[in-house]
Amino acid sequence: MFNSRIKIKHLLLQEPSNQEVTVMGWVRSFRNNQFIALNDGSTNSNLQVVAELGSFDDLLLKRITISAALKITGTVIPSPGKGQKLELKAASIEILGDSDAEKYPLQPKKHSLEFLREIAHLRFRTNTFGAVFRVRHSLAFAIHQFFNERGFVYLHTPIITASDAEGAGEMFRVTTLPPQNPPVTPDGAINFKEDFFGRATNLTVSGQLEGELGATALGEIYTFGPTFRAENSNTPRHLAEFWMIEPEMAFCDLEDNMNLAEDFIKYIIRYAMKHNEEDLTFLAQRLADEEKQLPQDKRSELGLLQKLDFVLNNHFERITYTEAIDILLQSPAYKKKKFQYDVKWGIDMQSEHERYLVEKHFKKPVIVTDYPKDIKAFYMRQNDDGKTVAAMDILAPGIGEIVGGSQREERMDKLEQRMKDMHVPSDELWWYLDTRRFGTVPHAGFGLGFERMVQFVTGMSNIRDTIAFPRTPGSAEF
């Protein structure tokens, strides 16, 4: 059988006892025409393979170049070298795929992240991105495990939708109409009745509204899928295509929502720390080396592993938006005019404000609740004060907002009035309003941007380095 190989990660955990094994992988380096560093992607650690001098044909040895793919069978023996307990003494070497070492873009030197984004099809082969994407996998697995353990139903909500859940209008149009000469109505507008779906449709910005439909029948659901924002933003925190986790829970209020979100974040971080210790240790050292290049006042107070422990070992502080604004107004940073953006009641807090609350004031993760209704979406439950809604954001060190959620407005009259005030067409969302007509219940939910979570756990400074092929303005290369 061709694939009777052992993965290098598992082999390196064994004790050397002259066992015969077959490994396959890519060459990271070949020294002295004798020592092959082989990696198969299961770990950042390479397996040293010894090709004994005189045992292999010179033509074969010349083909062992960086990134060549090899199949090697041999005997596992103790290694005399430092830092490795075993190595593989090769009995047979087969070249599965040649690699032109001179043309291969990943030379054995340090490459910038900007350069690696230009060759995103190959960057998985670096230690940094091998670690990032193994951690990403673990976080994704832990998400499903968390909700499955709690009896949630995984709901696949549509990617193509006619509704704008956020009301922002920054959506990608989906159409089969000819771009040069689309059909038009008598008043000159595009006639979407002749389009594939018979109406205007877009790529989804959120699965929340459909998630609420599931929750009001199944009790508790979660979505985990791609979402899209046509926002012309070139910051290290934004993508045009990203993945969202959105649980929705019937018979649930804002406090239940906060409790679940805090448990959820801690659970998936704990899982990654347990199952990706080697990768996170590598990424922590990488971040520490990167921060050495920064001025002292720009460096993080905590290393990556300390930051993750910090989240796990602290109960998240809970404050209202009004209390948060008061703290910011009284802060030395505000009084010394160190904030780039103004602070006053009614603003949508910027990342600098959120990070001040977390990193300088409380020195722990913070959940901010009860935001002004004027800066929040139509579906959030209105509080009795008439000014705020039962919303909550979770703020994390180093990144700011990582979760946004709310108790949903279950009262039909309040919801309809809010939609009217915000010019949300109730006739188009008749199906959403039916959940309030037929057995409405208090319910709540939140959304977590998966790439921001990956960014937080891996310490990567740019969100484009947390997704395989980032989609950003002007960039859809791969």
> Domain check: are 276 and 365 in the same one?
yes
| Residue 130 and residue 69 share a domain | no
Q: Are 445 and 404 in contact (CB under 8 A)?
A: no
* Pairwise CA distance, residues 190 & 420, whole Å: 25
110 inside domain? no
The bridge status of strand 20-31 relative to strand 69-78 is antiparallel
d(CA 449, CA 205): 12
Residues 456 and 402: beta-carbon distance below 8 Å: yes
Q: Is residue 411 part of a domain?
A: yes
Give the Cα separation of 314 and 123 in Å (integer): 35
Question: Closest Cα to residue 254, out of 363, 396, 410, 359?
Answer: 410
DSSP of 60-72, one letter per residue?
HHHT--TT-EEEE
Distance CA 394, CA 317 (A): 9
Rounded CA-CA distance 384/365 in Å is 27
* Assigned token pair, 403: 């979760």
Residues 257 and 400 grouped into a single domain: yes
Residue 18 sits in the same domain as residue 158: no
Mark whether 70 and 155 lie in a shared domain.
Answer: no
Do 160 and 65 share a structural domain?
no
Is residue 139 located within the same domain as residue 248? yes
42 and 161 in a common domain: no
211 domain-assigned = yes
The radius of gyration of the chain's CA atoms, rounded to the nearest angstrom, is 27
How are the residues of the chain apportioned to helix, strand and coil, as percentages rounded to the nearest 5?
35, 25, 40
Which residues neighbour 189 within 8 Å (Cβ) at sequence distance 6 or greater? none
Burial per residue of 298-319, b for 16 or more beta-carbon CB atoms within 10 angstroms, e otherwise = eebeebbbebbebbeeeebbeb
Give the pLDDT confidence score for residue 109 in this predicted structure: 84
For residue 92, what is the domain's CATH number? Answer: 2.40.50.140
The pLDDT of residue 475: 87
Asked if the structure places residue 105 within a domain, the reply is no
CATH of the domain at 257: 3.30.930.10
Distance CA 187, CA 427 (A): 22
- Residues 30 and 162 occupy one common structural domain: no
Tokens of 461: 């400074």
pLDDT in tens, the chain (478 residues): 667 899 999 999 999 999 999 999 999 999 999 999 999 999 999 999 999 999 999 999 999 999 999 999 999 999 987 888 999 999 999 999 999 999 999 988 889 999 999 999 999 999 999 999 999 999 999 999 999 999 999 999 999 998 876 665 689 999 999 999 999 999 989 999 999 999 999 999 999 999 999 999 999 999 999 999 998 888 888 899 999 999 999 999 999 999 999 999 999 999 999 999 999 999 999 999 988 888 877 777 789 999 999 899 999 999 999 999 999 999 999 999 999 999 999 999 999 999 999 999 999 999 999 999 999 999 999 999 999 999 999 999 888 899 999 999 999 999 999 999 999 989 989 999 999 999 999 999 999 999 999 999 999 999 999 999 999 999 898 8
Q: What is the pTM of this model?
A: 0.94
Please state the domain count of the chain: 2
What's the domain range around 26? 8-97
HSE-up of residue 360 (Cα within 13 Å, Cβ side): 15
In a domain? residue 143: yes
| Alpha-carbon distances of 66 from 22, 30, 95, 124, 286, rounded to whole Å | 20, 7, 12, 15, 23
Three-state SS for 171?
Answer: coil
Q: How many Å separate Cα 359 from the centre of its chain?
A: 21
What are the distances in angstroms from CA 174 to CA 55, 71, 159, 182, 473? 61, 46, 10, 14, 18
* Distance separating alpha carbons of residues 41 and 7, to the nearest angstrom: 9
Question: What SS3 state is found at 224?
Answer: strand
> Is there a single domain that holds both residue 262 and residue 353?
yes
The answer to whether the CB of 82 falls within 8 A of the CB of 96 is no
Mark whether 40 and 132 lie in a shared domain: no
Q: Per DSSP, what are the bridge partners of residue 76?
A: 88
Query: What kind and span of H or E run contains 129?
Result: helix 127-149
Regarding whether 140 and 86 lie in a shared domain, the answer is no
